[in-house]
Amino acid sequence: MENVREEPQLPTARGPLSAAVGSYLLGTGPLPRSEEVAAASPYGDDLQLALYQCYELHYRGFAGVSAGLEWDPGLLRTRAALEDRFLSALRADTPVHDSVADAVGALLVEPVDGKGVSHFLRDEGELWHLREYAAQRSLYHLKEADPHAWVLPRLWGRAKAAMAAVEFDEYGGGRADRVHARLFADLMTDLGLDTTYGRHLEAASAECLATVNMMSLFGLHRALRGALVGHFAAVEITSSPGSRRLAEAMRRTGAGPAAEHFYDEHVEADAVHEQIVRHEVIDGLLEQEPQLAADVVFGIDATGYLEDRFADRLLADWRAGRSSLRTPLAGVSPEPSGTSHIS
């Protein structure tokens, strides 16, 4: 199914920060004060949604919001304050490895008794779990590879060429029907989900928003190019085994051929991408800019930290028999037997 090209609706506010940013985008109110930003929870719904709203102006924007606000000086100052609150917490809270080799080595080790989200979905997940997972992941996958494309002008030589090669694959190798965002929309169709870009923002948890915001944060700042490369390495290195488990989950539950194909495609493609990212993107970058090694490590480990927080949220809700979503998914069934997790 074609992913309809339209601007998403502004989401419902989750607190004073996101309410103020939303009002400013519509021209109906002022931006939040700096002291409000400083007092907000860095991983909470309100700050993460406010930051997501700021970043989305660099992608498709929102219905009724002027495209000219993308570079509005006041909004950029607010975005910088939100970013500082988020990034400072992320730097303080992320346990980091001593070297790039150690960080990459840890990614290459698959635990024997894995207990993550992909393991849960493979072994015991039901269709409603898969739908919830896909709905939240759609905030990234319907713009898959776009946050990473920001880094291309910040690289050169081996790193640039290799990164561009991987991105070319993500964008379907020149074929519109193979663009990974399109393949994910087809997966969503198999699962009975609305494929409209941004439609599931209301339902997504703060933990999910943080994983997507981190990509935009790293991608939009040249100073964080090393962290973006580290993040990208973490995604590509861990994708193939995780995608294999998710493909098995889709087959076991009868999700549909497109749902299976999306993850089967990533098993094969990302096994190749892992080698390119490790030996060409990372090595090429550090050959030219060895001072960025600590940033690469931070990007790898921050990705793991936020993904673990998201996984903990999903598994806690699912194991308790309740939805992980803030709002119910429309038009899908079966629903979980427990109560919805509305926060």
Residue 305 to residue 315: CA distance in whole angstroms: 15
Burial class (CB in 10 A: 0-12, 13-18, 19+), 130: buried
| pLDDT value of position 274 | 86
> Residue 62 — φ and ψ, nearest 5°?
-135, 150
Q: Please, what is the end-to-end C-alpha distance for the chain in angstroms? A: 32
Residue 5's pLDDT is 60
* Phi and psi at residue 145, to the nearest 5°: 80, -15
pLDDT (0 to 100) of residue 337 = 46
Report the pLDDT value the prediction gives residue 330, as an integer from 0 to 100. Answer: 66
Residue at token pair 């709203």 = 53
Per-residue tens of pLDDT for the chain, all 343 residues: 444 467 999 999 999 999 999 999 999 999 999 999 999 999 999 999 999 999 999 999 999 999 999 999 999 999 999 999 999 999 999 999 999 999 999 999 887 778 899 999 999 999 999 999 999 999 999 999 999 999 999 999 999 999 999 999 999 999 999 999 999 999 999 999 999 999 999 999 999 999 999 999 999 999 999 999 999 999 999 988 999 999 999 999 999 999 999 999 888 776 778 889 999 999 999 999 999 999 999 999 999 999 999 999 999 999 999 999 999 986 555 455 443 343 3
- Sign of the four-CA dihedral 331, 138, 303, 49: negative
CB 300 within 8 A of CB 97: yes
Q: Determine the pLDDT at residue 207.
A: 98
Planar angle of CA 153, 155, 159, nearest 5 degrees: 135
